[in-house]
Chain A
């Protein structure tokens, strides 16, 4: 059982470049999330989805876009990379919105220079 899989594990981007962080889960979870983790700052929610075709903004959505065409996949798109987007990105999924633990991927470490 793979759980939540993120690719790539590492990436270096130049300012202004774009990229897509991939996330897929095989647990048939309806709820999926993207977080970023900055040193000493905990995790901040970027976007989330309650099911295929439905997405919504989290706490720090600026500079990012998401789509949810299937239950399994929830890619995160960076259109014009900026140094402020240097971070570790985590994708997660859960059965329900409440009282349901999140299952996390292993993260993507992104550096923008």
Chain B
């Protein structure tokens, strides 16, 4: 069973619009990471969240971890073509190794 669920699996958004990607777990997350992947390339680290209620922003991307530390959201404001790619959340459960969600494929249309 998948311990991390991402939604939606794919997303098509018009350029300039806002969007949100969710990452949900049934267990408490001890570290939540967001990565972006472009086709043919590796994963680029975006942000790490550790504390319940924590929120971080970088340029037009904001990530939040809920108070219970079981859900995280990634919000993109005023999307641009450069935001297109696959977004993956990764999480640690206790001392276990990083587990990844199945990813959200984001397409930006003009």
Residues of A participating in the B interface, judged by any CB pair closer than 8 Å? 4, 33, 35, 40-43, 45, 48, 58, 90, 92, 97-99, 101-107, 109
Contact B97 A45 (CB under 8 A): yes
Contact B42 A42 (CB under 8 A): no
Contact B45 A107 (CB under 8 A): no
Question: Chain A contacts of B44 at CB under 8 A?
Answer: 104
| Centre residue among B35, B42, B101 by max chain A CB count within 10 A | B42
Contact (A101, B45) CB under 8 Å given A40-B102, A41-B102, A43-B88: yes
Complex-state Cα separation, A35 to B100, whole angstroms: 10
Question: Chain A contacts of B102 at CB under 8 A?
Answer: 40-42
Contact A99 B97 (CB under 8 A): no
Contact (A42, B88) CB under 8 Å given A99-B48, A101-B45, A101-B48: yes
Contact B103 A90 (CB under 8 A): no
Question: Which partner residue on chain A sits nearest B31 by CB separation?
Answer: A99
| 9 residue pairs A–B, Cβ–Cβ below 8 Å | A33-B97, A35-B100, A42-B4, A45-B97, A92-B43, A97-B95, A98-B92, A102-B43, A102-B45
The 8 Å CB contact of A105, one of B42, B45, B101, is B42
Question: Which partner residue on chain A sits nearest B46 by CB separation?
Answer: A101
Does B98 sit within 8 A of A, measured CB to CB? yes
